């Protein structure tokens, strides 16, 4: 999630009633990855694709993402999908390195698997 969050940052989160586009969520990604934080990039019914230069296209609109540094976009496109009911599509802010919904090991995240929405974080000293 760099540059937004860094390894060692302390994250605070709360439950949610309705997820929103760009919410930071924490969920358990299983034994390989443990608890991870990613950004909600697609809600149920949204169409999602990734351009060849790594930019998010949501409902056929290229999204503005000021929190992503140009050198962290990566260069892998993704064919369009529709986010299924009860799930969300998540992306990391460091697209070049992130393991997120683009990866079949993570895929779409069931909303009932989300532990909460990040409300605040404290940067690790020296981080």
Residue 117 is part of a domain; what is its CATH number?
2.10.109.10
Digit-coded pLDDT (tens) for 73-90 = 776 778 899 999 999 999
Total domains, the chain: 1
What's the pTM?
0.88
Structural domain including 112 reads: 10-122
96, part of any domain: yes
| Dihedral (Cα; 2, 32, 118, 20), 10-degree rounding | 90
Strands (E), 32-123: 35-42, 47-50, 56-58, 61-62, 78-82, 87-91, 109-110, 114-122
Asked if residue 81 lies in contact with residue 93, where contact means CB atoms within 8 angstroms, the answer is no
35, part of any domain: yes
2, part of any domain: no
* Dist. CA 127–CA 110, nearest whole Å: 32
Q: Which residues of the chain have pLDDT under 70?
A: 1, 75, 125-127
């Amino acid at each position: 999630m760099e540059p937004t969050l860094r390894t060692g940052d302390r994250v605070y989160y709360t439950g949610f009633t309705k997820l929103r586009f760009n919410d930071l969520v924490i969920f358990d990604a299983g034994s390989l990855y443990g608890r991870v934080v990613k950004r909600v990039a697609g809600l149920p019914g949204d169409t999602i694709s990734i351009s060849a230069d790594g930019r998010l296209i949501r409902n056929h609109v290229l999204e503005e993402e000021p929190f992503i540094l140009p050198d962290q976009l990566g260069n892998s496109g993704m064919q369009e999908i529709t986010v299924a009911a009860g799930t969300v599509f998540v992306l990391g802010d460091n697209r070049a390195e992130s393991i997120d919904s683009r990866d079949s090991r993570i895929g779409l995240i069931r909303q009932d698997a989300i532990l909460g929405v990040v409300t605040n974080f404290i940067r690790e000293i020296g981080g």
